[in-house]
């Protein structure tokens, strides 16, 4: 069974690396993309596997492999929980016993097992994932999957506006909490790239009115 699992991983890992390269998630891995058999990706994954085997210490490799698996499950549970928090219309889990609390419990359990097994390795693994996230954000990689953080911000803004509406209906807004909300009708220059407003003087006037603390709708 160990030999079969090793062969399965050795054949699956290069294709996964090739898929990541083709999606251009990490530009540094672009040379491992392309079509057909992932030969370069196979060489890279073989070298990584050989380095792990040549250590000769399974007790040294086992915690590291465990961290990667737990990070995978942690990411899946986090993605499921974020989808529920964002209330995306296309999020319709088919699992009969799914609940947001199960995703939250999965996250907590993965983190607990990681730090209970090997705290330093767990911290290093999370740091590596954070560095990869910063690298991808810095490169501004565009993938047609939608951004979860954008959906989360939209849901948070919508919830905040609905709460403000309820507070405004119950009682009058106090002078300390009042913010200017300005609706401005302006002309858009359709010939210019993007949305360019032609009334620059009016826009400056609206900016001065709200003083950077209000809300303006154009």
In a domain, 150, yes or no: no
Residues 30 and 117 reside in one and the same domain: yes
In a domain, 113, yes or no: yes
Residues 50 and 120 reside in one and the same domain: yes
Cα four-point dihedral sign 164, 169, 172, 178? positive
pLDDT tens, the chain, 218 aa long: 566 777 777 778 888 888 878 877 777 777 877 787 778 888 888 888 788 777 777 777 888 888 888 998 998 998 888 888 777 777 788 888 888 899 899 999 999 999 998 889 899 888 988 888 888 777 666 666 666 666 667 777 777 777 777 766 556 666 666 777 777 777 776 666 655 666 777 777 777 776 666 677 76
Cα four-point dihedral sign 144, 147, 148, 151? negative
Residues 137 and 185 reside in one and the same domain: no
State the SS3 of 169-205.
HHCCCCHHHCCCEEECCCCEECCCCCCEECCHHHHHH
Rounded to an integer, what distance in angstroms lies between the CA atom of residue 102 and that of residue 86? 17
Residues 139 and 184 reside in one and the same domain: no
In a domain, 168, yes or no: no
The residue segments making up the domain with residue 189 are 180-217
Structure tokens at 100: 């947001």
Residues 106 and 199 reside in one and the same domain: no
Tokens 């792990």: give the residue.
52
Domain count across the chain: 2
Residue 47: per-residue pLDDT: 85
In a domain, 53, yes or no: yes
Residues 128 and 209 reside in one and the same domain: no
In a domain, 169, yes or no: no
Residues 58 and 13 reside in one and the same domain: yes
Q: What Cα–Cα distance (Å) separates residue 216 from each residue in 1, 185, 206?
A: 64, 11, 8
Residues 200 and 121 reside in one and the same domain: no
Residues 139 and 200 reside in one and the same domain: no
In a domain, 173, yes or no: no
Residues 26 and 88 reside in one and the same domain: yes
Q: Which of 87, 118, 143 is the last residue of a domain?
A: 143
Residues 92 and 20 reside in one and the same domain: yes
In a domain, 170, yes or no: no
Residues 139 and 46 reside in one and the same domain: yes
Q: Which of 126, 143, 160 is the last residue of a domain?
A: 143
In a domain, 161, yes or no: no
Q: Which of 96, 128, 143 is the last residue of a domain?
A: 143
Residue 74: per-residue pLDDT: 92
Residue 105: per-residue pLDDT: 93
């Amino acid at each position: 069974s160990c030999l079969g699992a090793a062969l399965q991983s050795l054949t699956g890992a290069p294709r996964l690396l090739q898929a990541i390269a083709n999606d251009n998630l990490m530009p540094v891995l672009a040379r491992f993309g392309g079509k057909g058999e992932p030969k370069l990706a196979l060489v890279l994954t073989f070298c990584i596997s050989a380095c792990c085997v040549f250590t000769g210490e399974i007790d040294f490799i086992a915690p590291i492999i465990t961290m990667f698996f737990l990070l995978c499950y942690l990411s899946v549970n986090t993605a499921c929980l974020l989808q529920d928090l964002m209330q995306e219309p296309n999020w319709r889990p088919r699992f009969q016993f799914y609940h947001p609390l199960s995703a939250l419990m999965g996250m907590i359990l993965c983190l607990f097992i990681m730090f209970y097994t090997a705290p330093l390795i767990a911290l290093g693994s999370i740091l590596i994932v954070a560095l990869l996230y910063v690298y991808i954000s810095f490169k501004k990689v565009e993938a047609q999957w939608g951004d979860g953080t954008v959906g989360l911000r939209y849901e948070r803004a919508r919830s905040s506006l609905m709460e403000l509406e309820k507070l405004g209906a119950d009682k009058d807004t106090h002078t300390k909490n009042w913010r200017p909300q300005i609706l401005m009708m302006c002309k858009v220059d359709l010939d210019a790239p993007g949305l360019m407003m032609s009334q620059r003087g009016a826009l400056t006037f609206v900016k001065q009115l709200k003083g950077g603390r209000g809300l303006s709708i154009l």
